Amino acid sequence: MAFPITHPTFPEPPLGIDTLIHEFNHVLQYQKLGFANFFLRYANEHKNYGLSKSGFDRNIVYEYGPRNSVYATETLEGQSQMAGDYAKLLALNAASSLPQRQKLERRLHGSGIYGL
């Protein structure tokens, strides 16, 4: 019995690819850091970044844009957001988003994501 090897297909526009890649990036982070180190870092980042003037906001760890950081220095959630956002921009392949894509490529440099 043979099983065909296929690539997953996504509807156009590729809804959800950013979420898929975001979560897959967490798997890679687990593998690299190990379970305990991942959760220790994750908890510390939420503690350190989550506090704002208006109280605790767990979404701040995701918002890499204003931090103007690169992948290597970003929070675990910020790294995964970068990877997901980049996957979405690649999949959409819109000329209008090329500057945004290039900016993200610079931030992802050295991450290994999509060979960057």
Q: How far apart are CA 11 and CA 17, in angstroms?
A: 10
3-state helix, strand, coil in the chain (%, to 5): 65, 5, 30
CB of 22 to Zn ion, least distance (A): 5
Among residues 18 and 77, whose Cβ is nearest to Zn ion? 77
Q: Looking at 80, 84, 86, 87, which residue binds Zn ion (CB under 5 A)?
A: 80
Write the DSSP symbol of residue 12.
Answer: S
Contact status: 79 vs Zn ion (CB under 5 A): no
Q: In this structure, what are the phi and psi dihedrals at residue 55, rounded to the nearest 5 degrees?
A: 110, -160
The end-to-end CA distance of the chain, in Å, is 38
CB of 54 to Zn ion, least distance (A): 22
Say whether 57 sits in a helix, a strand or coil: coil
CB of 76 to Zn ion, least distance (A): 7
Among residues 45 and 99, whose Cβ is nearest to Zn ion? 45
For binding to Zn ion (CB under 5 A), which residues are involved?
77, 80
